[in-house]
Amino acid sequence: MAAVLEALLPYMMKMITNMAEEEVGLLLGVHGEMERLGRNLGNVKAFLADAERRRIRDELVQEWVRMLKGVMYDATDVLELGQLKAEERRESKLGRSMEKKMPGCCQPFLFCLRNPVFAHKIGSRIKELNQRLEDIHKEAAKFNFIANLSSYPEQRPEAAEYSRGHRMTSEFIPSAVVGEQIERDTRLLVQELITTDENHVTLKVVSIVGMGGMGKTTLAQKIFKDTTIDEHFQTKIWLTITQQFNELELLRSAIKHAGGDLGVEQDNTLLTRTLNTLSTSKFLLVLDDMWSARAWESILGVPVTNASYKQPGSRVLVTTRFQDLAPQMHQPFYLHRVNPLDEDDAWSLLKNQLSQPPNQVDRVDHLKDTGIKIIKKCGGLPLAIKIMGGLLRTKPQTEHAWEAILNHHAWSSDGLPPELDRRLYLSYEHLSPQLKQCFINCSLFPKRKTILMVDVTCMWISEGFIQPLGGSSSHDDDDDDDGLEEVAEEYFQELIKRNLIEPTKDSQVTGYVCTMHDVVRFFAEFIAREESLVVVENKLGIATCGDKGPLRRLNLKLGDALSNFSCLRVISIQDISRLPDDINKMKFLQYISLENCEKLDHLPSTIVKLQQLRFLNISGCNVTVVPKGFGGLTNLRSLYSFLVHMDMDGNGGWCSLEEIGPLSHLRSLDIKGLENVSAGSWAEKAMISSKAIWH
């Protein structure tokens, strides 16, 4: 969490510097307070790296960081609120008139401070923030923090290793397991699945058992794609069973992946549809990451078992951490335990993470003795070895550098929570503050959901995580925003290189698609436990999250009462039928994802007042009308599934396409309904050719 604050500081300091130059403190009636705020932030900055290192082990340090976080987030809100008020005034007729008469008079704070009530309010809050910061700085003395400690080697990803726009592909090893062991296990389990039982059993369960990070899913994927399996089973279905699975969603996914027709969905017919779909051919059903037999007992067992009577020889392949799960499914079963990698396979896997290009795998053989010691600390777990390989890849290939990793204090369990994976903690310790917050932010995506590069990088930019190449804040003037996407992509590639996220191929999606392993996700969620809230279902009730403080990002399913969260910068919502009409109260919103909210058929007219909005995705929604005034969202950089429609009422008519014209900062644009435009003049008004669109 302290790393997140350290990365936030450049943005805050830039705003403070600008305001000090404009003598805003004098206009606020608090002369010198802006400079004082800058000094106070600089004082606490010196301790942040050490605080980040120690907060994991020390609850008192964690509480100190928590208090500092509250102050810094409040300060950011105050500074941005002033800018937002200024923009609102700037957009008014009076503001535009004054700008023409007195160029430069509409500097954000100078303009909004014409309101003495608002000026007094802001000035009082800045004085209060300074006092709180000074109190926190005094508290720091009792911890004896090491000033200006650098716990990471890079100030930013090694951008020099990558040319602009370079895509990482073949140099990454997608499999978490290499060597003869996985080949042998694959052959064994394929044979087990296709062999007809001498007792003519219609259905059999094959269970792959092992601890997290052992490579169970990778082995199951290799089996699933095996050509012998393709020849033997006409239908293959892969279902990931999350701990908070939804029964109806499971049935829908089973029908969809089996090639069935959902038709007009009625919940009470899904069981029958599942049975009918599975009964058409011999099937292999994979249930990945089962934590209990509940999904089988409550919803899947009956239709799958009954379908197997019509299609004998069908099989269920399960991956799980628990060897007692298969017996609970009350079917004949075969249990296969995945063992840790042997020394040779483990060393091969580690070397494959280091080598670029792959034909130079032997260039680190002189470091094998130290490498084997590191591997032993990984317990033979493929995921842990890949994480270590990703870390070692960023280091010089020298004995000294590898010994430093081998002897790092993070391996020690003293004072660390038992649920914290040491290998991941070691990798995390060597991330820069910017990379730490980007990594943590990935945990906001729902479990097992693919992470599209363009989505997550836009989220990072919206949060202010990404610094321009010149090093200034990502929220400076428009020129400074140029290149943010390229920098964000470098960060994304760096997380891939370190095996903290893993790329997958998806022919239906343009750009990178990644996933985050459950073990990695758990670690990130632990680190970020006070930085965000993910509500999977509405059962918890959104009102219960008030104790988390002012939230800045939220991922909801069935999102109600959104406007109560006025500090939100990012929202990702699923299964919502409408947005609140007062969404304009959420003035800080910069990222809105409404992907696949099929019941959403319109956007509130007030959405056009979200001046900070940079990303909007309404793909998969049934929105039929774009609000007039949409072109006022001039900060938009990514817009997906923008609907083209015409309204011929009024003088000369109106086409939604012309609303794109003023959106000069668009970098990603997806339009639907172009066939609705009858005249080329409407398309000209969109000025597509003048925009630097890259997706």
Cα distances (Å, whole numbers) of residue 580 to 271, 299, 496, 557: 35, 35, 37, 15
Give me the count of residues in the chain: 695
Res 500: pLDDT: 95
Residue pLDDT, tens place only, 111-144: 555 667 777 787 888 889 999 999 999 999 998 8
pLDDT of 510 > 60? The answer is no
Count CB neighbours of 294 within 10 A: 15
Task: Give the pLDDT band (50/70/90) at residue 160.
Answer: very low
Residue pLDDT, tens place only, 236-275: 999 989 887 888 888 888 888 888 877 655 666 788 888 8
- For residues 616 and 635, what is the distance between their CA atoms, to the nearest angstrom? 11
Judge contact between 567 and 549, C-beta under 8 A.
no
Q: Which three-class secondary structure state does DSSP give residue 337? A: strand
- Give the mean model confidence (pLDDT) for residues 665-679: 77
Task: Give the pLDDT band (50/70/90) at residue 559.
Answer: very low
Q: Which CATH number fits domain 341-412: 1.10.8, 4.10.280, 1.10.620, 1.10.3470?
A: 1.10.8
Please tell me the pTM assigned to this model: 0.79
DSSP string, 348-384: HHHHHHH-SSGGGGGGGGGGHHHHHHHHHHTTT-HHH
Task: Give the pLDDT band (50/70/90) at residue 411.
Answer: confident
Report how far Cα 149 is from the mean position of its chain's Cα atoms: 28
- For residues 403 and 397, what is the distance between their CA atoms, to the nearest angstrom? 11
- Nearest 5°: CA angle at 65, between 63 and 70? 95
pLDDT of 158 > 50? The answer is no
- For residues 489 and 164, what is the distance between their CA atoms, to the nearest angstrom? 9
**Window from 163-177, 333-347, 613-627 with minimum mean pLDDT:** 163-177
- Spell out the residues 6+ positions from residue 83 whose beta carbon is closer than 8 angstroms to its own: 15, 108, 109
In the CATH hierarchy, which fold is given to the domain comprising 180-337? Rossmann fold (3.40.50)
**Domain coordinates of the chain in residue numbers?**
2-143, 180-337, 341-412
pLDDT of 329 > 60? The answer is yes
- Spell out the residues 6+ positions from residue 295 whose beta carbon is closer than 8 angstroms to its own: 241, 245, 247, 250, 287
Res 438: pLDDT: 92
Structure token digits, residue 48: 């942040």
- For residues 238 and 224, what is the distance between their CA atoms, to the nearest angstrom? 9
Its sign, for the CA torsion 80, 82, 84, 90, is negative
* Mean of per-residue pLDDT scores for the chain: 79
Residue pLDDT, tens place only, 606-655: 999 998 899 999 998 998 888 888 888 988 988 999 888 777 665 556 77
Cα distances (Å, whole numbers) of residue 480 to 155, 616, 667: 19, 21, 15
pLDDT of 476 > 50? The answer is no
Res 102: pLDDT: 47
Greatest alpha-carbon pair distance for the chain in Å reads 93
Residue pLDDT, tens place only, 362-375: 788 899 999 999 99
Residue pLDDT, tens place only, 48-65: 888 888 887 788 998 998
Judge contact between 694 and 453, C-beta under 8 A.
no
